[in-house]
Amino acid sequence: MPLFALVDCNNFYASCERVFDPRLIGKPVVVLSNNDGCVVARSNEAKALGIAMGVPFFKIRPLIREHRVVALSSNYTLYADMSRRVVEVLSSFTPDLEVYSIDESFLDLAPLNLSDPGRFCREMRATVLRWTGLPVSIGLGSSKTLSKIANRLAKKKAEAGGVMDLASHPVRTESALASTPVGEVWGIGPRSEAKLLALGITDALRLRNAPEGLIRKVMGNVGVRTVLELRGMAIHTLDTEPAQKQTLCRSRTFGRATRELGDVRDAVVAFASRTAEKLREDGLVAGALATFIMTDRFDADARQRSASASDPFGIPTNDTQEIIGAATRTLSRIWKDGYAYRKAGVLLLDLVAGNDRLRDLFESSRKRAMRRMAALDEINARFGHGAITFGLSSLKAPWRSRTNRLSPCYTTEWTDLPVVQS
DNA sequence: TCTGGGGTCCTAGGACCC
DNA sequence: TCTGGGGTCCTAGGACCC
- CB A309 under 7 Å to nucleic chain B: no
Tally of CB atoms within 10 A around A350: 15
User: What pLDDT is recorded for position A98?
Assistant: 97
pLDDT, tens digit, 9 for 90 and up, residues A359-383: 555 666 767 777 777 777 777 777 7
Residue A97, Ramachandran bin (φ over 0: left; ψ between -120 and 50: alpha; else beta):
beta
3-class DSSP assignment, residue A149: helix
Determine contact, residues A55/A41, Cβ cutoff 8 Å.
no
Which residue's C-alpha is at the least distance from the C1' of B1?
Answer: A58
User: What pLDDT is recorded for position A346?
Assistant: 95
Alpha carbon distance A262, A254 (integer Å): 14
User: What pLDDT is recorded for position A409?
Assistant: 83
Distance, Å, A213 CA → C6 C1': 26
pLDDT, tens digit, 9 for 90 and up, residues A300-321: 888 989 899 999 998 899 999 9
Distance, Å, A232 CA → C14 C1': 28
Nucleotide nearest A226 (Cα, C1')? C16
pLDDT, tens digit, 9 for 90 and up, residues A345-356: 999 999 998 864
pLDDT, tens digit, 9 for 90 and up, residues A245-286: 999 999 999 989 999 999 999 999 999 999 999 999 999 999
User: What pLDDT is recorded for position A180?
Assistant: 98
Work out the mean pLDDT of chain A and round it to a whole number: 91
Upper half-sphere CA count for residue A170 (Cβ side, 13 Å): 1
Strand partners, A308: A292
Of chain A residues 228-267, which have a beta carbon within 7 Å of strand B? Answer: 243, 245-253, 256
pLDDT, tens digit, 9 for 90 and up, residues A28-58: 999 999 888 999 999 999 999 999 999 999 9
Distance, Å, A310 CA → C3 C1': 38
Tally of CB atoms within 10 A around A136: 30
Is A394 a residue whose pLDDT tops 60? no
User: What pLDDT is recorded for position A403?
Assistant: 67
User: What pLDDT is recorded for position A337?
Assistant: 94
pLDDT, tens digit, 9 for 90 and up, residues A63-103: 999 999 999 999 999 999 999 999 999 999 999 999 999 99
Determine contact, residues A295/A305, Cβ cutoff 8 Å.
yes
Burial of A10 (0-12, 13-18, 19+ CB in 10 A): middle
Distance, Å, A346 CA → B2 C1': 25
User: What pLDDT is recorded for position A363?
Assistant: 66
Which residue's C-alpha is at the least distance from the C1' of B9?
Answer: A222
Upper half-sphere CA count for residue A58 (Cβ side, 13 Å): 2
**Which range is least confidently modeled, A19-28, A307-316, A407-416?**
A407-416
- Those nucleotides of strand B lying less than 7 Å from any protein Cβ are 1-12
Distance, Å, A154 CA → C16 C1': 24
Burial of A170 (0-12, 13-18, 19+ CB in 10 A): exposed
pLDDT, tens digit, 9 for 90 and up, residues A164-215: 999 989 999 999 999 999 999 999 999 999 999 999 999 999 999 999 999 9
Nucleotide nearest A188 (Cα, C1')? C16
